[in-house]
Structure 1
Amino acid sequence: MADDIWERAQRLPPAERQAFMSWAMQEITRRRVMKALPTAGALAAEFDPKNNQTADLAMIDEALEWAFNTPDARLMISKPSQTGKSERVAVWGMVRALIRNPDCRIIIATHSEDLALTHSERIRSILAAHGTGARDSQTGVLLPDRLGIGLGAKNAASRWTLAGHIGGVVAVGVGTALPGKPADLLLLDDLYAGMEQADSPAYRRRVNLWWDTVASQRPGPGAPVIAIGTRWNEYDAHAYLMEKHPGKWRVLNFPAIAEKGLDDALGREPGVFLENPRGYTDWEAIRETKPARVWASMYQGDPGPSDGALFSATWFDDHRVDVAPPLYRRIVGIDPAETGTGDEAGIIAGGLDETGRVVLTDDASGHLSSAQWPRTACLLALRTAASEVYFEAYSAPKTYEGLLQRAYDDLVAEAVRLTAELPEAERAALAAAGIAGVVEGVRVPFVRPFAIYPWKGHGNAVVRSTGFRHGTSSGKCRVVGHRLATMERQAVRWFEGQHSPDRVSAGTVVFDVLAPSTPAVVTSDPGSWGTIASGLA
């Protein structure tokens, strides 16, 4: 068949034969490139010497191929600014889409026409430098075709097509009318210029109306829609799109720092940094300079409410301490996991500083069973030298107290078993110090060094948290660094009428027990009560 085509081509008139040969060579090149460079990342690696592939970009490459191959695909991507998402998706992703299908009509929409034009011009420059008809910028000499597609004669930055095809790019800003402009692929990139626009109900309505009446009408049957950008708040464009099309979006979020309870497409362990293709980035240092809400939105892809919540992110930010000060009394507060089947248990540690302020130092909360949370609480109490452990006692107080007591006894037994493997001299030294052994890096005394008490507040969860909320707003309660980032995130998303987050409930216990009416007297021994202030004895 192929030989027959070439034989027939030889019998064509010279002009037609030349046209056919040019088309055939271009098509051969396109198909070879499509196979040899099968992803947006492979194209970037081939043609961009500054390209640096990272794990998140590799996952984005795979997701783009999924979107190109899946009818009516809906793909949503969020990751920190300046980490390569627009370059990979809006530039190399669109080059890949055109190589796959030169008749693919792409619409790129952003918050401003200027940004959309920037993406369009970047794609055009790649085609002009490496595609069909590319010429050396200095000599004008024709260069080898390395893409198998090239720019058509009419190629304004705002709308252009490929030579010999209907595929190309239309670049627009939000609000632009698109009459007669169908899309075989629609890309939405940052539909807000910043947090101020996203927080404006009027501007959000404008963006939503443009989607409903203009943008959503452009994709044809089976056309994918890809949305990338910053998650600014709980009512932003991404939230609106997911609400309008529930269950249809494949969502990839890549937080700068992995956290417990925070969606991370890479599944990293808490605390692991996101690799930046532009070079090493100290995300912790950046976090220290950003308000909590800005950090959560721009860097974690975890938008918080702009107002109306029972806690404010600025309360935590305004009174945050870098390191834990000397504390004269340390306790652990617990909101037990009720079902015993792995629901969340709140386990928070804190203490009093020399000025009488409550300082929250550690968060060991998690989805823990009835066997796990008591053990975790006991280990945290030992690790922080707590003198007391308090648990919410609205139901089954004797059961919870028994679980904690039994958990400590089990730790002692485990420590003894582990100590049996040590040399005799080490065992003797531990025994002489009253230590049964070491479990998970924590020394476990034979005699439990902390008391266990039930705690009950008055009123509903909102009423019970009044002191804790006032403490965080006034600076009477502070957090150490970002050790309790998950608790903070839950707190600023808690609205009246909702179930109290378990970590917040545990923090309420700690604050309610510790909040003094008179200053404390500090001691150098973090495990003791020190000299109790007058009025507390």
Structure 2
Amino acid sequence: MSVTTADPTRLAAIRVQQAGRDRQKPISPAELARRIVRNYRITPAIELISDVISDAITQPGRRYVITTPPRTGKSVLVSRVGVVDALRRNPNAQIILASYSDELAQDHSREARAMIAEHSALLGYRLSPDKTAVGRWRVDGHAGGLLAGGINSGATGFGADLLLVDDPVKDQTEADSAAHRRRVINEFRSTLMSRVHPGGSVVLVMTRWHPDDLAGTLLRDEPDVWTHVNIPAVAEAGIPDALGRAPGVVMTSALGYTAAEFAAIRRSVGERAWYSLYQGVPAAPEGGLIKRDWLDQWRLPAAPTAPTKTVVGVDPADSGSGDSCGIVAASMTREGVVAVIADVSAPMTSDQWARAAVDLAVDVGASEIAVEGFSARETYQRVVKDAIRRTATPHPIRVTTWPPKGSGRGGGDAMARSSALLQGLETGTTRIAGHLPDLEGAAVTWQAGQHQPDALAALVVAHDVLVHAIGQQWGFASPLDSERRMREGTITSMPGYLRRRIGG
């Protein structure tokens, strides 16, 4: 039966229900986006970014770097709805929005203004009629508003309770220009950051085309200040994933991309663009000096259960003020393979890294802590020994500095010191046990001429100590048995003299 007339009572109830929903204020930027942006879809990635934006809006002094694949809805959420929501919560907030060009920043500004004009009743504010320029406007009756422009356009006469930087670099060509990278970094630091009010928050959204781009510089120079929120299209070992997915899990795409479609995109755009645009890392994780394939090919499922020796290697902080510090544990298996089993590298003071090294040694059963001691050998050794005395260690732990005096090891630059480790990772005599995402990510993005990541420097120390410990032990081997075990894959290599066959 068809109904040709509406029930007035039912229509009245629907209107009351709708009015109630309209009066109910959105509790997050994502929820606001769902209300005011047609067909806006909240995925797990959007929900996480929404939490980040909400935290930056409501809490003082936040610093975030966000990297996600294109077409996820992040710019709509951050640079349009984020502006609208920040002013909804505080109509006196001053916001600066910067992009690589005036046109892009003003496009975001124009859309934000349109949202305010259409949904002023829901938002609880409206635009000031006398301050309505596309790139500079204010909230009616309040001090808050927006200044939008290119990153090189300046921000004279305008402060920021919230600084949003969305796409400060246009493309790969700009990113590959050292001069352009310097201009962007200098403009960000000298102009934009100088406009941030005390307690103001900063959110940077960008594609990581180059290791020394703006995001890379901030994360390297101020690791204890900036939080990196990376959401790769496909979770992969060695790539940070803020969603915490297992390797191989594809993100829920706002546009509905499947695993097969992401694979097709990867084939189409090439490896560098894939990892920069879709995975959030500035170099393909197959690696520069260290290849991703090496780590995956030789990976161990877990740490060895009965190692012959376990060492914690430390690349200490340069000062006592909380610099980046590398602390890595590795074990030698009975087959002579170095297994990298743990990484707790982080910014730490001298007391903190010494205690962290001791705690790790206790956790993994290490018999030695070896500290890289080029600059302050005796001081580092004393600091670690003091930490051991303050800890109830269940077994003796020897403290050494590396390289040993008079050994002739450790000479040359970081590349030279790492040569044995690189060879071991390539041939399988050094393997990652399980998954160590931060260490692996740092390893495969390390390029010649760059500062060596602290975790990798610590691994160089642990690896060298373990490899040279082999020479301190006697052992006997059957060439035929070793050949059999090599075929079975239980050992990864044999010296040439064991493989050589004698005729007759």
Residues 254 and 266 in structure 1, CA contact (< 8 A), matched pair in contact too? yes
Residues 340 and 369 in structure 1, CA contact (< 8 A), matched pair in contact too? no
- Within a 5 Å distance, the mapping from 1:61-72 to structure 2 comes to 61-72=50-61
- Within a 5 Å distance, the mapping from 1:45-444 to structure 2 comes to 45-128=34-117, 130-132=118-120, 145-153=121-129, 154-242=131-219, 247-282=224-259, 283-304=262-283, 313=288, 338-339=311-312
- Once the two structures are overlaid, the 10-residue window that deviates more, 292-301 or 175-184, is 292-301
Which residue identity does 1:74 align to in structure 2? Answer: R
How many Å separate the matches in 2 of 1:35 and 1:167?
A: 23
1:23-82 Cα shifts (integer Å, max 9, x gaps): xxxxxxxx9979620111111111223211112221222222222222222222221222
Aligned CA distance change for structure 1 residues 258 and 249 (closer, same or farther; 3 Å): same
How many Å separate the matches in 2 of 1:241 and 1:467?
A: 31
1:243-284 Cα shifts (integer Å, max 9, x gaps): 665523333221222233432222222222222222124344
1:326-364 Cα shifts (integer Å, max 9, x gaps): xxxxxxxx99853499x86789xxxxxxxxxxxxxxx99
Residues 138 and 145 in structure 2, CA contact (< 8 A), matched pair in contact too? yes
Larger Rg: 1
Residues 233 and 305 in structure 1, CA contact (< 8 A), matched pair in contact too? no
1:211-257 Cα shifts (integer Å, max 9, x gaps): 23321222223222221112233321123334665523333221222
The Cα of 1:502 is off from its aligned counterpart by 5.9
Q: Any stretches of 5+ residues in structure 2 without a counterpart?
A: 1-19, 298-306, 315-326, 332-338, 344-359, 366-407, 427-434, 468-486, 493-497
Residues 96 and 148 in structure 2, CA contact (< 8 A), matched pair in contact too? yes
1:401-429 Cα shifts (integer Å, max 9, x gaps): xxxxxxxxxxxxxxxxxxxxxxxxxxxxx
Match of 1:152, SS state, is: strand
Residues 69 and 233 in structure 2, CA contact (< 8 A), matched pair in contact too? yes
Residues 208 and 237 in structure 1, CA contact (< 8 A), matched pair in contact too? yes
Q: Alignment identity in percent?
A: 31
The Cα of 1:120 is off from its aligned counterpart by 0.7
TM-score (norm. length: structure 1): 0.54
Which residue identity does 1:149 align to in structure 2? Answer: Y
Aligned CA distance change for structure 1 residues 340 and 219 (closer, same or farther; 3 Å): closer
The Cα of 1:300 is off from its aligned counterpart by 2.5
Residues 91 and 122 in structure 1, CA contact (< 8 A), matched pair in contact too? yes
Match of 1:222, SS state, is: strand
The Cα of 1:366 is off from its aligned counterpart by 6.3
How many Å separate the matches in 2 of 1:77 and 1:196?
A: 21
1:12-32 Cα shifts (integer Å, max 9, x gaps): xxxxxxxxxxxxxxxxxxx99
Please tell me the root mean square deviation across aligned C-alpha atoms, in Å: 5.5
The Cα of 1:125 is off from its aligned counterpart by 1.8
Which residue identity does 2:81 align to in structure 1? Answer: W
Residues 109 and 116 in structure 1, CA contact (< 8 A), matched pair in contact too? yes
